[in-house]
Structure formats: C-alpha cells, structure tokens
A = this chain, B = another copy of it.
Amino acid sequence: MNIALAQLNYHIGNFDSNTAKIIDTLKTARSNGADLVVFAELCISGYPARDFLEFREFIDLCEKSALTIAAECTDVACIIGIPTPNTGPHGKDLHNSAYFIADGKVQQVVNKALLPNYDVFDEYRYFEPETEFACINFKGHRIALTICEDLWNTIENPLYMIRPMDKLIEQKPDMMINIAASPFAYNHDEERIAILSDNAKRYNLPLFYVNQVGAQTEIIFDGGSLVFDKQGELVDELPYFKEVLTYYVLKDDATITPQQPVTLMPERQSNIEQIYRGLILGIRDYFYKSGFKQAILGLSGGIDSAVVCALAAEALGAQNVMCVLLPSKYSTGHSITDAEGLVNNLGCMSETVEIKSITDAFETALHPQFEGLPFNIAEENLQARTRAVVLMAMCNKFGYILLNTSNKSEAAVGYGTLYGDMCGGISVLGDVYKTQVYQLANYINREREIIPQNSITKPPSAELRPDQKDSDSLPDYDTLDTILMEYVEHRKSSAEIIASGYDEATVRRVLKLVNTAEHKRYQTPPILRVSPKAFGMGRRMPIVGKYLS
C-alpha cells in the first residue's frame, strides 16, 4: 500500500480554502500513485475552532466540506479530521472525529477518546470521548486509527483511565495511523518522538503520524510528522514549519519504503533556531490569515524591538515593515543611531515622530490636576502611551498592524505600560524570556550584523526617565528568568524555588510581581506560543485573587 502523508496549513473556519487545499493534495497524491492520503486532526475546520463549534451551522459546513472531498475520492482513499455531531442520548454535542473515505463516500468514523483539557486545550468543552473502538480494513491491511492525544497515555500516572490502543490491538491491526494537531513548543519535538516511538515498540506496529503545520493566531503547529517502523525506529521525520506531501510503501511484512529522499535530522535544531522559525511562521500566518500585509512597530534602539523588526522583515519582507522612531526628551543619542542602523541593515520603511510636543501638551492639559506633585509613573506612562497612540493612528491611516515587542520577562513581572508598549495586534516575544531574546539576536546576526551590536550589549532601559535602567527595578535577567521559568513553566512553589538556592526576598518579590500583574496581561494581545507554558489561553489566572500577592 502506498501511503501519502499530507502535512498542511489550514485556516480556522475557512472551509473554501481548506477544502480546496485538501482536494488539490488528493489529486496530486493520486497521480503519484497513493492509495491512501492522511490529513491532520480537524483539518476541515482548522484547529482550535473554539466556540465556533457551538454553532450548528458551523458543524453543517464541516459535513458539507467532507462530502465535497468524498466525491473526489475515487481511486484514492483518505483520512480527514472533522467535528461531528454526537448522536447518542447523553453527553457533549460533538465528537472529535476522523473520517475514513474511500470509493466516494465516508466508510467509517473514528472518534477521539482522550480529550486534552489542559494548557491551551479545551476539547472537553465540546467533545464527548469515545468508548468503543474498531479498526479500519483497507487493501488487505487492518489500520488502528487514533487521534493525537489517544497515543499520549503511556506515561506513568496517566491523565486518562484508558489507552485506546490497548483496545484496538485486540483486533490485530497491522499498522497504526495517528492524526494530530500538536502545537509547537521549543522542547516538544523530542518528547513527541519519544512517545510515538514508544507506541510503535509497545504495540509492535509501524506508525504513521501526521501533524498540522501553520499558526492559528497564537498557537503554532510545527509539522514534523513522523514515520516509525514496528521496532519504533524513526523511518522519516518531515520538515518543521512547512507544508509537505510525502509517500511511503508499506509492505505486508510491515517494512516501510519512503518514496522520496529522507533526511533524518542528525541532531535536533537548537531551541533558539526552532523559536526563530516558529515566530516567523507565527507572524506570517497572522498577517496572511487575517488579510493584512504590512506591519508597524516602534523602534526604540533596544534589543526587543530590534529582534521583532528582524523577524517581521523575514516573515513579511522588509518592504512591508514600517519602523517608527519615537524619541522623547529621555531618549539617548545611541537609541536613535542604533534604530537607524537596524533600519538600514534590513531595508525597512521608517518614519520619525518626536513625541515631546505631545507629552508636553498632555502635561499642560493636566497641569491643574497635577500641579505641585512630583514626576512619577504617571509621566513615565504618558510617554509610552503617547507612542502607542501615534503608532495606532498610523495603523488606522495606512492599514498596518502593530507588532507588540514586550518580552516574556517583562510580561511576567508587569514591567510595561498597559495601553502603551503593551499594545499590538499580536505579541511576537511575549513567550520569549529576555535571556532568550539575546540568543535570538545573536542567531539573527549569525551570518552578518543585522541588529547593531550596541543594541545587544548596552544595558537594557525603558528610557522613561533620565538614566533609567531595567536593573534599577528588576533582578538581573539571568536570575529573573530562572525564577520565572521555575514558577511559570514548572509551577514550583516559592519554597521549592528558594530551596534551590535563590534569595528568599527576591523570589517572593518576583512571584508577587507576577501575581499582581494579572490584570495587565489580561488585556494584552495574543502571544505567539513557543514554550510549554505561555501567557494567554494556556495560563488562566484569577485577576482579583490574593495568592502570593
């Protein structure tokens, strides 16, 4: 049997585009001799379709797309992912399903049994888990078809009560197929390979695994679909962050022969290279899928906005990136020259808008209220907010989308101005700690100096008052980022973090900063997720709470 794996980029709710892409791929695969083409989990609707799934009309459109695709399935079979109505008397309205389509119609429906409901996942909000299991017979093979999480219950202290493959193996399948929508995190590829290899070995079956690729607002799918032989050895690892269609001949003795050259990745990409590629895809898809072409951002001369600018230029083309220099009376000379250097290196558009006359106008207008009171955070934030208003005015006038440039360290401790530098359509670095931003800058400069070296080496500063440095109010970033990683990603307690060797007062202060900044993060743009625990939908905290705050 010739099996094709279609690792494609879908768009939530865009039925015309998703259906056309699937049909085009089917035709190509058929002409290349494929018997069966495997698409990803919920490819019909895109993933995650969230509460669109609560609209019966949306579900009907999914079914209509599937029937259109089925009509094309002559001389080729396929597996697609689709939400379907739960026709039973109990439970949630839907199943997260796979259709096995052959001879022009849906031959069999397989429903997902293990429904992730942690981090960014909300599947139990919509779907009823399956409790009955049946293999698919096709061309003399018996296929154990599962959906994503269904294979992820092999760990100790499992999250779910059953293992679907333990049921399916009783029916003596000779191969496994798993269709997935498995989001990117910089450390997820190795875990995925280990879990899936373990499944192939455990059940002594070859395994074909198809993931989505592409970004859906904040959630990035990295592709990296996988093929294992029945010993659990990797036969193929598809490229990351791009669409691809590959072919494999599976013989009756369960050996697998790839029909194209295979480059098994000799060593994993570094975390930073993965983050870089993930962010590029995240920016590109955000603009493409929302119908915009051009980005705008404020360029401060600092490292965060420089890295965002370089990423945007790579994702959208430098000609589609507008950089705005917004100097104030506290901006230092090198801020402007560093920003100009970057613009020149990349070839972006740029404008300069001095904000002093505007902040002066605010201060004059507020003079009756503020008279006699010392300069404080009110005046600092005025500058950040004035910049945001200028940038948003240019968005409204010219159709740009504003890129947010806050990093994860700042977002964590609330070191940023709400409605100021925390504005934007999408946050590019909101899941990238400051220490990782430095690594990204060096990665961007790996072949030539794009980001001026001075932006990398100078002490970070918000430049909202004379001689301000980040280190005036925050621990050094190495310390801060380690504490944040332990607290945010590993969910360690303050006692555990202190016990691992950090100063108690610093730990308590950092955790308190994190927990009291929840109201700010609530109103920030969606953040491109590149870690196992990003701020946003995957981390849901009370705003008016009193824990560690």
A-side residues, CB < 8 A to B, are 11-14, 17, 46, 48-52, 54-58, 89-92, 117-118, 122, 124-125, 157-161, 216-217, 285-286, 289-290, 351, 353-355, 357-358, 360-362, 364-366, 368-370, 373, 376-379, 381-382, 385-386, 388-390, 392-394, 396-397, 418-419, 423, 425, 491, 493-495, 519, 522-526, 537, 539-547, 549
Contact = CB atoms under 8 A, between A and B. Distances in A.
6 contacts: A11-B544, A366-B390, A369-B394, A379-B393, A389-B389, A392-B418
B365 A389 contact: no
B397 A392 contact: no
Interface-centre pick from A51, A360, A425 (highest chain B CB count, 10 A): A51
A174 B540 CA distance: 40
Contacts of A369: 351, 353, 394, 397
A389 B394 contact: no
A118 B124 CA distance: 9
A419 B395 CA distance: 13
A161 to B, nearest CB: 5
A542 B397 contact: no
Contacts of A378: 393-394, 396-397
Contact of A382 (B389, B491, B523): B389
Nearest to A118: B125
A394 B365 contact: no
B495 A57 contact: yes
A397 to B, nearest CB: 4
B289 A544 contact: yes
Contacts of A390: 362, 365-366
Given A157-B89, A519-B425, A525-B523, A354 B365 contact: yes
Query: This chain: how many copies in the complex?
Result: 2
Given A54-B491, A545-B46, A546-B17, A396 B377 contact: yes
Contact of A393 (B17, B381, B526, B544): B381
A543 B366 CA distance: 37
Given A544-B217, A546-B13, A361 B366 contact: no
Contacts of A418: 392
Contact of A286 (B354, B526, B544): B544
A18 B542 CA distance: 16
B392 A419 contact: yes
B389 A48 contact: no
Contacts of A48: 542
A113 to B, nearest CB: 14
A423 B423 CA distance: 12
A372 to B, nearest CB: 11
Interface-centre pick from A124, A385, A526 (highest chain B CB count, 10 A): A385
Given A159-B91, A419-B388, A365 B355 contact: yes
Given A57-B493, A90-B161, A381-B396, A216 B12 contact: no
B13 A49 contact: no
Given A217-B544, A542-B48, A381 B392 contact: yes
A375 to B, nearest CB: 10
A541 B51 contact: yes
B542 A216 contact: yes
A377 B397 CA distance: 7
A178 to B, nearest CB: 21
Nearest to A218: B543
A377 B364 CA distance: 26
Which 3 A-B pairs give the minimum distances between C-beta atoms? A13-B547, A57-B493, A14-B546
Contacts of A370: 393, 397
A544 B216 contact: yes
Given A91-B161, A289-B546, 6 more contacts: A50-B542, A52-B542, A90-B160, A91-B159, A216-B542, A523-B524
Nearest to A424: B523
A58 to B, nearest CB: 6
